Amino acid sequence: MARGINEDGNTQHIGQAIQKLLNSYHIKSKFDQANLVSSWERLVGKPVAKRTKRLYMRNQVLFVELDSPAMKNDLSIHKIKIIEVFQKEFGAEVIKDLVIM
């Protein structure tokens, strides 16, 4: 694993250094949200991603606009499971709810 030297002269993983940097500039939440949005296809699959017209986050809520009424219904039924998958991947502090439009 990649390691760097922190200001105390101790080594740390590069991932830890990046997280510390993001926190110090108060941009970690924006980074996490952008990462979550970019992972949509990987976590929900190609069929859902292809029917997704728009996807964005606001205040820890993921908004998903779909072009298929049937897909909207299916995602609504599985909303809790989808939120759990994203929380497991990114943490409960990144996503609190899902709005399907």
Query: How many distinct structural domains can be found in the chain?
Result: 1
pTM above 0.75, yes or no: no
Structural domain includes residue 6: no
Higher pLDDT, 20 or 68: 68
Structural domain includes residue 94: yes
Tell me which residue range forms the domain holding 58: 27-100
Per-residue pLDDT, 9: 60
29 confidence band (pLDDT: 50, 70, 90) = confident
- pLDDT for 70 beyond 90: yes
Structural domain includes residue 67: yes
- pLDDT for 50 beyond 90: yes
Q: What distance in Å separates the CA atoms of residue 37 and residue 35, rounded to the nearest whole number?
A: 6
Per-residue pLDDT, 17: 81
Q: Where are the beta strands (DSSP E) in 14-96?
A: 52-58, 61-66
Structural domain includes residue 90: yes
Structural domain includes residue 93: yes
- pLDDT for 90 beyond 90: no
pLDDT average, residue stretch 45-67: 94
Per-residue pLDDT, 31: 73
Dihedrals φ, ψ of 73, to 5°? -65, -45
